[in-house]
Amino acid sequence: MAKSVGVTLSEQIFTGLVVDHALVGDLRRFPEDESEYGALIEMPTEALVDTICKQVLAVAGEGAKLDAVGVAVPGLVKNGVVEEAPNLPQLKGARLRDQIGAKLKQHGIETPVTILNDADGVAAGLAAGHGKLDSMIRVWTLGMGIGFGRYPFAAGVWEGGHTIVTLDDKESYCGCGGRGHLEGVMGHRAMRLRFLDMEPEEVFEAAKKGDARCVEFKRLYHKALAAATASSVHMAGPGKFFLTGTYVSFVDLPMLKDYTHQMVKMSPLQGYSLEIVQESAESRIIGSAVSAEQAAGILARQSPLEEDLRQ
């Protein structure tokens, strides 16, 4: 019976105890006040590490015997190091695996710690929740930025949110500074920069009422996501794509399917599917824990886990 803790960082830190792929007890959330959602970006790395460890201790208890701890962060992760994190820039270069592991050890918890991309955690959680642990699934997470998750884990960068979807020199709204990126079109921050006089929710509401500027952006939004999805299909093959996240309600699924179909014409590649699923902190936490268990060699599955995740 595997007993692990899953943690996920986004606008907040969510933490939960996971036993045999099921959440046990209540989720913990930091900060608890929704008005403080932006607090994490202002916290130095050391303070974030302390907060994460306090949340783990709160759900597991001092000196708990855990099989693994999985921490999902928004950024490029390799060998337990956050190499890039545009939406939490203070984490760039942080050796989170070592820092969190050492801090937990001080409190009597000595267990493998896995740091993973947050979208990969979402993909693992959806795979567990849909009974697809032996299948490949991909997921787009639509939030402050755009995440791309893949299950099972495979070696690579997989920064799908930075897929090039336009060659327009004016498209430079991505938080990383790059031009033409998917996140530069669909990211919440990018939309606010594009429409300085409107919130993203207002943009899509105005599009429903026929506002020409907003209708044109809605088309761009869906063409961009279709282009990134089609690129993934052409590189990795067809399969299941989930759409989730705080702002998934902006997606017009029939429009997205139509644009994607226009871009994927080879008949062997048309066996893909697109499905919207609602945001779930529980699924994210379970995914983080499942990924950590697999990295620690606790959870077996048909597809072997890549060595990079073990490291």
For residue 301, pLDDT over 70 is answered with: no
Q: Which of 102-106, 179-183, 241-245, 279-283 has the lowest mean pLDDT?
A: 279-283
Report pLDDT for 102.
97
Q: What is the DSSP letter of 198?
A: S
CA distance 125 to 277: 12
CA distance 244 to 276: 6
Query: 97: buried, middle or exposed (CB in 10 Å: 19+, 13-18, 0-12)?
Result: buried
Average pLDDT over residues 39-50: 92
Residue 78 DSSP SS3? strand
Q: What percent of the chain has pLDDT over 90?
A: 74
For residue 75, pLDDT over 80 is answered with: yes
CA-based nearest residue to 50, from 99, 122, 10, 5? 99
Alpha helices in the chain (DSSP H): 45-60, 96-106, 118-129, 183-186, 188-194, 200-208, 212-236, 253-263, 281-295, 307-310
More confident residue, 79 or 306: 79
User: Tokens for 263?
Assistant: 């871009």
Residue pair 87/134 in contact by the 8 Å Cβ criterion: no
User: Tokens for 129?
Assistant: 């929740």
- Residue where the block lists tokens 């792929």: 21
The number of residues making up the chain comes to: 311
Sheet of 113-117, strands arranged across: 22-30, 13-19, 3-9, 68-73, 113-117
For residue 244, pLDDT over 50 is answered with: yes
Report pLDDT for 195.
96
Q: Which helix (DSSP H) or strand (DSSP E) does residue 141 occupy? A: strand 137-142
Residue pair 207/215 in contact by the 8 Å Cβ criterion: yes
Rounded to the nearest integer, the mean pLDDT of the chain is: 91
Domains 3-117 and 123-276 share a fold: yes
pLDDT confidence bin for 305, thresholds 50/70/90 = very low
pLDDT digit string (tens) for 251-263?
A: 999 999 999 999 9
Q: Which amino acid is at 184?
A: G
pTM for the full model?
Answer: 0.83
Q: Which CATH superfamily is domain 3-117 in?
A: ATPase, nucleotide binding domain (3.30.420.40)
For residue 204, pLDDT over 70 is answered with: yes
User: Tokens for 80?
Assistant: 């337990």
Structural domain boundaries in the chain: 3-117, 123-276
Sign of CA pseudo-dihedral 246, 249, 255, 261 = positive
Which CATH code fits 123-276?
Answer: 3.30.420.40
